[in-house]
Amino acid sequence: MTNGYNIHANGIRHHLLHFPGNGPAMFLVPGITSPAITWGFVAERLSAAFDVHVLDVRGRGLSQAGDLDYSLDAMAADVVALQAATGIEKPIILGHSMGARVAIRAARQAPDAFSGLVLVDPPVSGPGRRAYPSAWNWYEDSILMAQKGCSSQDMRRFCPTWTDEQNALRAEWLHTCQLDAIRIAYDGFQTDDIHIDLSHLTLPMRLVVAGGAAVIGADDIEEIKTLAPGIEVRVVEKAGHMIPWDDLDGFLAATLDFLPVRSAI
């Protein structure tokens, strides 16, 4: 049975959804415009192997919004503080897109707080690098539409391959994504350097790549493997950036067997 709960950490109120499971604890950090509830269908399946807590990232869903710091550092500090506030011992962090960048920065901030990272198609943009492939207007136009009220069919213009149920859920919840929070995170894709962070991490890590998207290419994979030599790589062929929406079984095959066992070396 899924339980929602609120907890105070890093100076603000956070809302999370708990999908109980018998395996290792996992913090699931969604992407830039994905409230926790939109990952429910994924978390339900992940709970077969993990005890899953899905975060509403600040400025999204039911977590605190308003006049806050929406930088990568602040979002990462939230994850670190939530680990301490919940008392959950060394959870795995599974982050998607922006959430994967948050996971990397959180592990850099507090390397002993977590047992491993599953990095799902993190944007590899940053200073001096190619731009993130999705244009800003896609986010802005869809959020402004949702703020006025929209239907699943309206949302289909932005997410044409999604099911009616998935589009309806996004239409219901996208208005909770505070526009300036999203803009700051989006701009951070160009200004925050996660590659420097990767070179400092020794946690067990797995990179899950959307084979049908333009976010991570073959050269990017090789660079990441150079920076983090122990990282595992799984490619979900033909899946777009929102991997579970395109190929849920492929996503689960790439994530459910992650075992965060540190190397003895």
| Residue 12, strand partner residues | 9
| Helix (H) or strand (E) run with residue 14 in it | strand 12-19
Whether the predicted pLDDT of 219 surpasses 70:
yes
- Cβ 143 vs Cβ 107: under 8 Å: no
- Cβ 112 vs Cβ 225: under 8 Å: no
- Cβ 248 vs Cβ 45: under 8 Å: yes
Over the stretch 220-256, which tens digit does the pLDDT of each residue have?
999 999 999 999 999 999 999 999 999 999 999 999 9
What's the CA gap between 47 and 51, in Å, rounded? 6
Reported confidence tier of residue 98, pLDDT bands at 50, 70, 90:
very high
Class at the top of the CATH hierarchy for domain 3-133+191-255: alpha beta
Reported confidence tier of residue 261, pLDDT bands at 50, 70, 90:
low
What tokens were used for 160?
């044409």
Over the stretch 177-218, which tens digit does the pLDDT of each residue have?
999 999 999 999 999 999 999 999 999 999 999 999 999 999
Reported confidence tier of residue 263, pLDDT bands at 50, 70, 90:
very low
Over the stretch 28-78, which tens digit does the pLDDT of each residue have?
999 999 999 999 999 999 999 999 999 999 999 999 999 999 999 999 999
Query: What pLDDT was estimated at residue 173?
Result: 98
Whether the predicted pLDDT of 85 surpasses 70:
yes
Task: State the CB neighbour count (10 A cutoff) for residue 199.
Answer: 12
- Cβ 163 vs Cβ 246: under 8 Å: no
